[in-house]
Amino acid sequence: MANVVVVGAQWGDEGKGKIVDWLSERADVIARFQGGHNAGHTLVIDGEVFKLAALPSGIVRGGKLSVIGNGVVLDPWHLLGEIEGIRKQGVEVSPESLMIAENTPLILPIHGELDRAREAQNGVAKIGTTGRGIGPAYEDKVGRRAIRVADLADKKTLEQRVDRALMHHDALRRGLGMEPVDRADLLAKLNEIAPKILAYAAPVWKVLNDKRKAGKRILFEGAQGALLDIDFGTYPFVTSSNVIAGQAATGVGVGPNAIDFVLGIVKAYTTRVGEGPFPAELNDADGQRLGERGHEFGTNTGRQRRCGWFDAVLVRQTCATSGVSGIAFTKLDVLDGFETLKICVAYDLDGKRLDYLPTAADQQARCTPIYEEMPGWSESTEGARSWAELPAAAIKYVRRVEELIDCPVAMLSTSPEREDTILVTDPFQD
């Protein structure tokens, strides 16, 4: 049985929610391996909309095990609120359906406070974070001062962990003109929530390795997109974790040989939220049309996404760094009705043609797109479930994308509905 990693191959918002839900029906375990609750995803199931951020997408499917891995940073208060929200929608969540790795670092209220205070500083370039504390929580993890799920089980250990964290945070807060942390209040909040979170705690690495040995199918679910990867993204306008497929192994505690197929989710055009370079961005009527037709607003933040033509340079690069086996091509229907379409095939950097995005931030900012034009189509592709239902020009567009990114299309999505999907290659049977 194949195990599948799903990664976003652009700047996030590629439509991972629908694809993961589509795949999760055939998986036994769905495991989140990185990120926090800053990356929302929307599922539409039988007309009902589920908006998730911390919970794995498989939680809405009965009979599946959903796992939050150690590569995630977890806000326990947000998680419990999200669980309560989907319970009201009729989804039952229990320790049999949800497990949290015991070594998962926690996002505390002080992380969000620090995140927002930094972004508010005048004279400092904004990163464009969601202000939810994800970055500071990852900093504490690598700084060896994080509070992890297992620490909640022992009050003495918890106090030691809090004291170590506050030595760092109180010094930072003084520099930012903030009041010191109320230690007693923080401990009280953690002790109050501890039993509710510990009910889901488990040695996830062991559970997943046992599942593998038993021949169970595992779906590894990432958040955000590869262009936000801390190492390979548009640094410093990135998230604070590794997003690429290699993180799936370390983010839950399995070996790299557990990964059989990497599915990259790719939107038929390009969007990003927040600050940072975007060579193919459109600040014209076409960009506005893409945003309106694609309903390009953040699931969590409501922020309007920046829109542009499909950038084959970037996707070719992320397919390489994640070892993508095939892509799921989403939102093709948003391109319906355009007389002419453009694809970015290279960049011009000070008169030099580049077939990749350079690493240096100043060079990224100076890259301008070199476009190839293709005829559009007037027919609707929305809801198509076979190649025969697609206009010839749409098929040519998809085939040209495959050539330019050097990666085949495994799935094609033509609407938010999960059944409106054309399956070319089954990732679980690769």
CA angle 193, 197, 200 (to 5 degrees): 165
Cis peptide upstream of residue 236 (ω within 30 degrees of 0): yes
Q: Hey, how many other C-beta atoms are within 10 angstroms of the C-beta on 132?
A: 23
The total of other beta-carbon atoms located within 10 Å of residue 373's CB is: 10
d(CA 6, CA 289): 28
Q: What was the pLDDT predicted at 178?
A: 94
Determine how many CB atoms are found less than 10 A away from the CB of residue 169: 23
The single-letter DSSP state of residue 273 is -
Q: Which residues are tagged catalytic?
A: 13, 41
Output the pLDDT for position 300: 58
Residue 12, helix vs strand vs coil: coil
Reading phi first (left if > 0) and then psi (alpha if -120 to 50, else beta), residue 128 is in: left
Amino acid at 241: S
Give the residue among 41, 2, 45 at the shortest CA–CA distance from 22: 45
d(CA 357, CA 365): 10
Which amino acid belongs to residue 153?
A
DSSP string, 372-395: EEEE--SS--TT--SGGGS-HHHH
Using a 10 angstrom Cβ sphere, with 0-12 exposed, 13-18 middle and 19 or more buried, the burial of residue 428 is middle
Which two tokens mark 128?
């464009």
Nearest to 34 by CA among 173, 240, 282: 240
Phi, psi of 250 (to 5 degrees): -70, -25
Reported pTM: 0.92
Q: pLDDT by residue for the chain (430 residues), tens digit each?
A: 689 999 999 999 898 878 888 898 899 999 999 999 976 777 777 778 888 899 998 898 888 999 999 999 999 999 999 999 999 999 999 999 999 999 999 999 999 999 999 888 756 666 767 788 999 999 999 999 999 999 999 999 999 999 999 999 999 999 999 999 999 999 999 999 999 999 999 999 999 999 999 999 999 999 889 999 999 999 999 999 999 999 999 999 999 999 999 999 999 999 998 889 999 999 999 999 999 999 897 655 667 899 999 999 999 999 999 999 999 999 999 999 999 999 999 999 999 999 999 999 999 999 999 999 999 999 999 999 999 999 999 999 999 999 999 999 999 999 877 788 999 999 988 5
- N residues, the chain: 430
Angle formed at CA 70 by CA 244 and CA 359, multiple of 5 degrees: 25
* 351: alpha, beta or left? (left if phi > 0; alpha if psi -120 to 50): left
Across-strand partners of 51?
42
139, 153 contact by CB (below 8 A):
no
C-alpha 359/C-alpha 346 separation (Å) is: 15
Interatomic CA distance for residues 242 and 256, integer angstroms:
15
- E strands, 157-282, are 201-202, 218-221, 261-267, 270-272
* CA of residue 385 relative to chain centroid, distance: 26
At 410, is the secondary structure helix, strand, or coil?
A: strand
pLDDT score, position 223: 87
Nearest-angstrom CA–CA distance, 171 and 427: 49
Amino acid (one-letter) located at 247: Q
Strands 261-267, 4-8: pairing is parallel
Radius of gyration, CA atoms only, the chain: 22
